[in-house]
Amino acid sequence: MGMTMTQKILAAHAGLDEVKPGQLIMAKLDMVLGNDITSPVAINEFEKAGFTDVFDKTRISLVMDHFAPNKDIKAAQQTKQSRQFAMKHGIVNFYDVGCMGIEHALLPEKGLVAAGECVIGADSHTCTYGALGAFSTGVGSTDMAAGMATGKAWFKVPGAIRFELKGKLGKYVSGKDVILHIIGMIGVDGALYKSMEFGGPGLASLTIDDRLCIANMAIEAGAKNGIFEVDEITRAYMDGRAQHPYTVYAPDPDAEYEKVYEIDLAAVRPTVSFPHLPENAKTIDEAAAMNIAIDQVVIGSCTNGRLSDMAAAAELLKGKKVAKNVRAIVIPATQHIYKECIRLGYIDTFIDAGCVVSTPTCGPCLGGYMGVLAEGERCVSTTNRNFVGRMGHVDSEVYLASPAVAAASAIAGKIANPEEVQ
């Protein structure tokens, strides 16, 4: 049988002609990623193992994004340890306050990941880079330590599920709605340790930002990775940006998939995932009819903090006001996106509407800071997880949605349909 995109990339990086699902391989790495929470653990393991140098100073990225600017003494200590390690080993891609961004938005923007590469990161949403045709997956900090030292990692080759996309997205429908729809359809374990592989004519309707969002949330369906076929949209994004030559791998015509789903993008509605799992998906028509009052809105994260996300929110908020009982927090994902928001007038729009705008940070997504929820509070968030206590108190609730739905809900003071907030 032929191979899928993921299997071809893993075979190439393992120096093999072919690989099969379930096979254990050791593969060479093109990038190893850590953040301010996971890097210190990896550094401790690196030093405990007696490693004295990294495999490649240009192939490691340390991004201080979760609790930076530091929220407390522990966060400051973690960042200090990461900073000192980066200086000691001459890590080229070290990003701290003032130049950092949310890691999974920053690395693609900087051209540090590209098609055909094999990437690991000590963060579960490292699967984001599959949007560019790379194999990328989250690992533990011990694997990150070994990767920094050797430039290699062990993998069990995943089986694959194919998503054949057709049609075009409707107004106010984005990649976030597509992936919430899919997770609602297959469940949070529907792709357990599988590669979610996306292709078909519907790709033409998806921007790179849509794809980054979809690949980002592959882990929320239990997947090992998500990956998109490379087309002209992908190449246009990577050309002039990628820091290394890239290789495009297409699936073989006889590639074997455990399941094949056909997704008509035209039939996807704006979608909201209810507490406390991403699979609890409802269309906006169902959700808005339930008249659910909210206390907070967060627009940002590695899932939906990109410029198109800011644009979608600004379009709805322009000339409007956030409901009096709602706190609206907007977080551009990188410094570049923040500057573009200033240039395009989005920051003025957000502030005039009554939002607060933050420097890039993961903060509220994991209940860290910049938007922690109290008991009984409800938040519509463009983040990727809504587990119990994810953004604060165990009795708070998180509703996952797109930037358009989040902005409309901020205005209405309840979960709202962006089509009806004009």
Average of per-residue pLDDT values in the chain: 97
pLDDT single digits (tens) 91-122:
999 999 999 999 999 999 999 999 999 999 99
Whether 400 contacts 415, CB under 8 Å = no
- Give residue 60's pLDDT: 98
Binned at pLDDT 50, 70 and 90, residue 1 comes out as confident
Neighbours of 102 (CB within 10 A): 28
pLDDT at 422 > cutoff 90 = no
Mean pLDDT of 12-26: 97
Mean pLDDT of 314-327: 97
- Give residue 123's pLDDT: 95
Structure-token pair, residue 73 = 């003494």
Binned at pLDDT 50, 70 and 90, residue 232 comes out as very high
CA dihedral 4, 6, 12, 13 (to 10 degrees): -170
Bridge partners for 166 per DSSP = 264
pLDDT at 125 > cutoff 90 = yes
pLDDT single digits (tens) 147-201:
999 999 999 999 999 999 999 999 999 999 999 999 999 999 999 999 999 999 9
Name the percent of the chain lying above pLDDT 70: 100
Report the C-alpha gap between 44 and 39 in whole angstroms: 9
Mean pLDDT of 396-412: 98
Complete domains list, the chain, with CATH: 5-265 (3.30.499.10), 270-420 (3.30.499.10)
pTM beyond 0.85? yes
pLDDT single digits (tens) 70-99:
999 999 999 999 999 999 999 999 999 999
pLDDT single digits (tens) 31-81:
999 999 999 999 999 999 999 999 999 999 999 999 989 999 999 999 999
- Give residue 43's pLDDT: 98
pLDDT at 18 > cutoff 90 = yes
- Give residue 421's pLDDT: 83
